[in-house]
Structure 1
Amino acid sequence: MDYEKWVWIELIGFDNTESDFGVTAYMNTLGFSPNGISLLLFTPDFVHAHKGMEQEYWLPVETCSYAARPYGKLRNRQEWTNYQLLGLVKELQKHGIDIYCSFFNLFLYRIDGQGRASEWCAAHPELYEMRKTGEAFPVINPLKRLKDGTYYEDLFIRDLTTVMRDYNFDGYHGADGYTSPRLSLAEADYSDDMVGQFIRLSGVELAEGLKEECDGVPQEMEKRGDWIWEFKRMEWIRFYADRWGAFWQKIMPALRKEGKKAVLNSVWTRDPFEALYRYGVDYRLLAASGVDGFVVESVAASCSAGAGEIEYEPGTEFMAMLMTIKAYVPDMKLICLNAIQDTNEQWDAISHAPTVLERDIFSFSNIYLQDREGVRRCSSGFVACLGDGISRDSWEWILKRWNLGYKGQPESVIGASFVWSDNGLNGSLEEYPSTRDWPAYKFLMTFIDHGAPLHTMVNVNDLDLASGMICVTGLHLLPEEELTRVLNYRNGPSLLIGKMTERISQAAASAGLNIECKPDQLVGMVRDRTGAVVQVFSNVHDGDLLHGGMDDLLHLNDAKSWVEPLYFSKLSGEFLNRCVQTLAGDSGAPISLRNEEHIRTTTLEIQPGRWRILIRNLHMNYKTAHLDVGRAIAKVSVLTDFPGIPIFPVGSEFSLYVPGRGMVIVEIEF
């Protein structure tokens, strides 16, 4: 099976008392040779406190386990030296594995209950992220400048390349905090440094009464920050996007010169729209740096299981996130972060929520992009997170499901295709602050969540390759050329959603479509494969805007964690249901006849006459899936461990149990 297997692991997963540092024992437990192993060394002090390799010395204790946690499932934290780490890298490379180093922008930890800070980071408070209230958030902001006015990124590149060379790492894994800020742009970083960079690079002039230098004066800082977010929001977002892009476009040539690779974490599980709006990161600019891939933070299992006591069920959301990232950067390798366990963060999906872990594996390995190369998976593999203390039996369980998730190459995906437009993304970003209208990913996520069979993305420029039902959102945001492609689509029916602007009305009329509705009202148009309009329905605004209208929308609180949703305008239940019914009814996908509010399917045509159906249960408890596939079934084969009994079809129907928050995979022969 052609997919990549990676492991993210701390030093606590190995044993420096063994001559081979415990590598043989670990590989025997693992049972396979990964494409890559990323060593999590926690803190930037790993690179900045590096003393070279002329002498042996102890590494900072917090690099020896995640935040210096004292023990794991198999052993206590060990103190490691620079020579031992080099020996570990060499032993792992003997197995043909690429070894990466990784660390967060964090530096606070605890020893015996007492708070500590990594020495180098603690000595550089000028680099901390700064809230607009003037409060320092103790993490490194890689875009800032040191006290002497030089850019941190220049020091980082020098120190990182030295460490990469001295330990002979194959690559660098840019983890949380080195690919995006930890706080949202609505909240940070509003220090004099970042505001000064903003003014210089964007050409924006501060309003009268606002000071360019006011660090240490919270009221002045907050007033300045509020003004930037209210009046120069798009400029602020673009400034950050350019800075993050430039940061990596400076790092990658230095790594390539050393013959090294790099992969980057995605932005806090966010799709291209929210990555930009919330955090000021443009995936296209990161990709342009020449990185080898993105590690997509698809950690749904940990969230679903309530890690950190959060109440968040993001399985469908993360599917939409992964699909839209792939549509935006189609040539980028996307490796899914598989949330297996994290002792330091105190969650263990494989022990406490195996059904949601299984669901993630099957879901994220079976969403697709249709382009000039054909139908191809959005994801290229998994990163086991985190990889220490897992038994041989558990690794066999994981590998069996990874293999099944990536087994075979479908000839087509049964269902509708969701149409992506880069121009639609940019338009959504521009209009969102004053309208809170839905971007593409919000439609995609909601439609899938309500049962629409949308598991394939297609770029608007590749519409000639699509067949069957298509779904287009943000119709009014498309430029003329793209709008013409959409209106000329004849390879199947289409659902077109957008605001009835004058331009759309004229374009529709020129295509022979007579549509009556209020100006700027959100409408859905259903067309058959001849282009004829067979349905038109509009969204009924019911409490759509806050009491203050547009002014209140501009002042909504966007300073939220990634686990908290942004505010979006309301979509009526009737409008949503008609969209989902259209997509389900005209797509040829299986119809759910029982527990339809809980059962979701993904259907792949493996070859003519044979379908593979992934059946997901949204409920906590077992639920029956009773499906009608529309054609007489000759045979049903169960590919997953559950259910462990044969399934006998009746005509075009069959039924089986699906575990709570889990997934079952079957193949049917017609």
Structure 2
Amino acid sequence: MNNRPYEKWIWIELIGFDHTESDFGVKAYLDNIGFIPQGISLLMFSPDFVHAHEGMERENVLPMEVCSYGARPYGKERNRQAWTNYQLRGLVVELQKHGIEIYCSFFNLFHFHVEGEDSLRQSKWCAAHPELYEMRKRGEALPVINPLRRFKDGSYYEDLLIHDLMIILQDYNFDGYHGADGYTSPRLSLAEGDYSDDMVDQFIHYSEVELGNGVALVCDGDPIAMVQRGEWIWHNKRTEWIHFYAHRWGEQWKKMMSALHKMGKKGVVNSAWTRDPFEALYRYGVDYKLLAAAGVDGIVVESVGATCSSGVDDMEYDPGSEFMAMLMAIKAYVPDTKLIGLNSIQDTNEQYDALSHVPTLVERDIYSFSNIYLQDQDGVKRCTSGFVACLGDGISKDGWEWLIKRWDLGYEGLAKRVIGASFVWSDEVLHRSLVDYTETRNWPVHKFVTELIERGAPIQCVVNVNELQNGTIFVANVHLLPEQELQQVLTYRNGSSVLVGRMTERISQERESIGLNGECELNQFFCVVRDENGTVLSMFVEETDANRLSDTQNDLSKVNDSLSWINSLYFNSVSDSFLNGCIRVLVDAAGSPKVTKHAEHIRTTVLEMEGGIWRILIRNLHVNYKRAHIDVGRPIASMSILTDFPGIPIKPKDSNFNLIVPGRGMVMVEISFK
């Protein structure tokens, strides 16, 4: 058993265990993985696990789709087994004997494929309740349960869910409930659904909005009228629609957590489709602050970078930098909530095996996501508290050893400070950005941080605007800060500051105090660099160019927001020259190392550890090996390699060193100074 200060969790199906063994295969499984997890979430797939439960008075066979993800017929180690309710209860008991907390989880899905059958089967309870299905804007039912819907009699589904779930938790003695995909956010974006009569009626009663002339309150089954209603709401009452959904998700989880805690159980929730606080709200109507206020015991953050970057399901999306920014933003928004990163290593049903096929990406995610920090009055602390291995069946002993060795290294030691700039978080700016983005399609803070990290900015730490402590700070969208927070930024004197914003009428009144001593037109982006005394060191603006103007959508009402999370929202472009200028001043202001060769591919995270030692995480964006040439700015006394690769000593010269980094991978080194 490992005593390192982080949590290890596993998400796994019943197919990972063996009901023919007296202990249901628990000892063999734990011997294979080589550690005792903090928690195991058993994935039961369908809501029928809860709603079709027949009690424990007699032994009965569980639905086949509960016995493996989507009723898949086999895994790497065994075929799907027909588990009974008594066997599942026995499995929970055996796992708990080892001090493991056991959670149940299920999606809002209920269609599954059975070998030899042409059409999909449906879980019986869910199939009998089409009034609960999530509905597209044209009225087509998406074959998933919308947990916010009501039954035909007007009662809320969530009340039945909580009632039935409490029985399940009691009967199987689960330690808690893991709210998974579909039960913590909708599958459709708010631009696309759910615009059913039910959800619109709930919206009207909550927001007291009056529908426009000719917009029908009741029109289910009429695609033309439904589209008209959905588009009217999205284009005319978008902010109210977003806040309504945020209220409903928060309200549901407040009920859920009250019931769980009353029983002495715990509840953790998945984040909304890998999204940061802004996109979680704008796209899906999920407010992490309301989930935290509801009392959730943790958020399982969908930091599934390796899966996306490897092209699963024909995906063209490499979100490594984006997910770093996302994790920092969520932690800043809900600083007291435990965040557990979802480490997507393999999933037979979803047809990926990152552990076998793209191990460098898995390694990159582990080191990156375990080494981003939140700064507060006590110093710096990690944004994440551990990882969930997803999914945990069919992995060899060697595979587990490889994985845990990297988890251990990722969480080894605690930085004293981060050598870079801390990006400044403001709750108020988040909420102002909903309106600003709708009206302008300009970048919210998370977009700025993502793009700057991707281009090489040293931003691996976040700080709340009300807890500014020391070191270099980076403030994006300074024009959206409320007056008090703007003054806190402008009077900051414990380090240099890099301020990026858009010239507005309000900001024009603050030109002198901000340091806008050059030409800057209305709506033009600016960057101001100030030292620890508030003296302006430099100032530049984004130059307008023809290419940027050609990329700009003139009629924002025609922008399509009905997109999957893997597709980017539409943003107005910001010039490369402006972004590169921001990166240069951030590197200079923070005293970060400089990449002197292959700078277009090499990214660094620099942590100051105990004794002034620098730990440097070196990331390669390219698919091929690249040699990183790095100047740390001070003579190096000694250097050691922490990762397995490269497997030879590296000899620094003065303040410089170079080494090879695997394609789309990461190398970690430590240096001491003369």
TM-score by length of structure 1 reads 0.98
Counterpart contact for 2:373–2:460, Cα < 8 Å? yes
Q: Letter of the 2:402 partner, please give it.
A: W
Q: Distance in 2 between matches of 1:666 and 1:475?
A: 36
Counterpart contact for 2:425–2:463, Cα < 8 Å? yes
In the alignment, what sits opposite 1:535? Answer: 538
**Structure 2 alignment gaps of length 5 or more:** none
Counterpart contact for 2:553–2:572, Cα < 8 Å? no
In the alignment, what sits opposite 1:238? Answer: 243
In the alignment, what sits opposite 1:9? Answer: 12
- Residue 491 of structure 1 and its aligned partner are, at CA, apart by 1.7
In the alignment, what sits opposite 2:593? Answer: 590
In the alignment, what sits opposite 1:153? Answer: 158
- Residue 516 of structure 1 and its aligned partner are, at CA, apart by 3.1
Q: Letter of the 2:372 partner, please give it.
A: I
Is residue 521 from structure 1 mapped to residue 521 from structure 2 by the alignment?
no
Q: Letter of the 1:231 partner, please give it.
A: N
Q: Letter of the 1:476 partner, please give it.
A: H
In the alignment, what sits opposite 1:564? Answer: 567
- Residue 485 of structure 1 and its aligned partner are, at CA, apart by 0.8
Equivalent positions of 1:4-153 (< 5 A) are 4-114=7-117, 115-153=120-158
Q: Distance in 1 between matches of 2:191 and 2:233?
A: 9
Equivalent positions of 1:26-425 (< 5 A) are 26-114=29-117, 115-425=120-430
Aligned with 1:194: secondary structure? helix
Is residue 487 from structure 1 mapped to residue 490 from structure 2 by the alignment?
yes
Aligned with 1:589: secondary structure? coil
Q: Distance in 2 between matches of 1:442 and 1:113?
A: 47
- Residue 546 of structure 1 and its aligned partner are, at CA, apart by 7.0
Q: Distance in 2 between matches of 1:16 and 1:129?
A: 36
- Residue 350 of structure 1 and its aligned partner are, at CA, apart by 0.5
Q: Letter of the 2:364 partner, please give it.
A: R
The superposition leaves residues 387-437 of structure 1 with CA deviations (integer Å, 9 ceiling, x where unpaired) of 000011110001100000000011111111111111111111111112001
1:460 to 465, 482, 488: 465
Aligned with 1:84: secondary structure? helix
In the alignment, what sits opposite 1:475? Answer: 478
The superposition leaves residues 97-131 of structure 1 with CA deviations (integer Å, 9 ceiling, x where unpaired) of 00000000000001114310000000000000111
Q: Letter of the 1:566 partner, please give it.
A: L
Q: Letter of the 1:456 partner, please give it.
A: C
In the alignment, what sits opposite 1:499? Answer: 502
1:615 to 615, 618, 621: 618
- Residue 505 of structure 1 and its aligned partner are, at CA, apart by 2.3
Q: Letter of the 2:358 partner, please give it.
A: A
- Residue 548 of structure 1 and its aligned partner are, at CA, apart by 9.2
Bigger shift: 501-510 or 517-526? 501-510
In the alignment, what sits opposite 2:639? Answer: 636
Q: Distance in 2 between matches of 1:133 and 1:662?
A: 44
Aligned with 2:268: secondary structure? strand
547 and 372 in structure 1: CA distance in 2 versus 1, 3 angstrom threshold: closer
- Residue 573 of structure 1 and its aligned partner are, at CA, apart by 1.4
Q: Letter of the 1:495 partner, please give it.
A: V
Aligned with 1:654: secondary structure? strand
Bigger shift: 427-436 or 560-569? 427-436
Counterpart contact for 1:458–1:466, Cα < 8 Å? no
Q: Letter of the 1:170 partner, please give it.
A: D
Q: Letter of the 1:287 partner, please give it.
A: A
Aligned with 2:636: secondary structure? coil
Counterpart contact for 1:545–1:553, Cα < 8 Å? no
In the alignment, what sits opposite 1:575? Answer: 578
Q: Distance in 2 between matches of 1:70 and 1:128?
A: 27
Aligned with 1:634: secondary structure? strand
Q: Letter of the 2:252 partner, please give it.
A: F
- Residue 290 of structure 1 and its aligned partner are, at CA, apart by 0.5
Q: Letter of the 2:352 partner, please give it.
A: W
Q: Distance in 1 between matches of 2:112 and 2:167?
A: 25
Q: Distance in 1 between matches of 2:669 and 2:344?
A: 24
- Residue 595 of structure 1 and its aligned partner are, at CA, apart by 0.7
In the alignment, what sits opposite 1:663? Answer: 666
3 and 518 in structure 1: CA distance in 2 versus 1, 3 angstrom threshold: same
Equivalent positions of 1:635-654 (< 5 A) are 635-654=638-657
Q: Letter of the 1:345 partner, please give it.
A: E
Q: Distance in 1 between matches of 2:559 and 2:324?
A: 27
Counterpart contact for 1:171–1:261, Cα < 8 Å? yes
Q: Distance in 1 between matches of 2:583 and 2:552?
A: 32
Aligned with 2:80: secondary structure? coil
- RMSD (Å), alpha carbons: 1.2
Q: Distance in 2 between matches of 1:69 and 1:548?
A: 46
- Residue 555 of structure 1 and its aligned partner are, at CA, apart by 2.1
Q: Distance in 1 between matches of 2:661 and 2:85?
A: 50
647 and 510 in structure 1: CA distance in 2 versus 1, 3 angstrom threshold: closer
- Residue 549 of structure 1 and its aligned partner are, at CA, apart by 6.0
Counterpart contact for 1:434–1:554, Cα < 8 Å? no
Counterpart contact for 1:508–1:515, Cα < 8 Å? no
- Residue 510 of structure 1 and its aligned partner are, at CA, apart by 4.5
The superposition leaves residues 318-368 of structure 1 with CA deviations (integer Å, 9 ceiling, x where unpaired) of 111111000111111000000100000000000000000000000000000
Q: Distance in 1 between matches of 2:94 and 2:511?
A: 65
- Residue 544 of structure 1 and its aligned partner are, at CA, apart by 4.9
Q: Letter of the 1:211 partner, please give it.
A: A
- Residue 607 of structure 1 and its aligned partner are, at CA, apart by 2.3
Is residue 451 from structure 1 mapped to residue 456 from structure 2 by the alignment?
yes
Q: Distance in 2 between matches of 1:289 and 1:81?
A: 34
- Residue 54 of structure 1 and its aligned partner are, at CA, apart by 0.5
Q: Distance in 2 between matches of 1:325 and 1:621?
A: 32
- Residue 153 of structure 1 and its aligned partner are, at CA, apart by 0.5
- Residue 521 of structure 1 and its aligned partner are, at CA, apart by 1.7
Aligned with 1:288: secondary structure? helix
Bigger shift: 86-95 or 472-481? 472-481
Percent identity, aligned pairs only, is 66
- Residue 257 of structure 1 and its aligned partner are, at CA, apart by 1.1
- Residue 514 of structure 1 and its aligned partner are, at CA, apart by 3.6
Q: Distance in 1 between matches of 2:476 and 2:310?
A: 32
510 and 318 in structure 1: CA distance in 2 versus 1, 3 angstrom threshold: closer
Q: Letter of the 1:574 partner, please give it.
A: S
Counterpart contact for 1:546–1:553, Cα < 8 Å? no
Counterpart contact for 1:433–1:554, Cα < 8 Å? no
Q: Distance in 1 between matches of 2:109 and 2:486?
A: 46
The superposition leaves residues 531-555 of structure 1 with CA deviations (integer Å, 9 ceiling, x where unpaired) of 12222222234455679965x1122
Bigger shift: 254-263 or 494-503? 494-503
The superposition leaves residues 257-295 of structure 1 with CA deviations (integer Å, 9 ceiling, x where unpaired) of 111001000000000000000001000001111010000
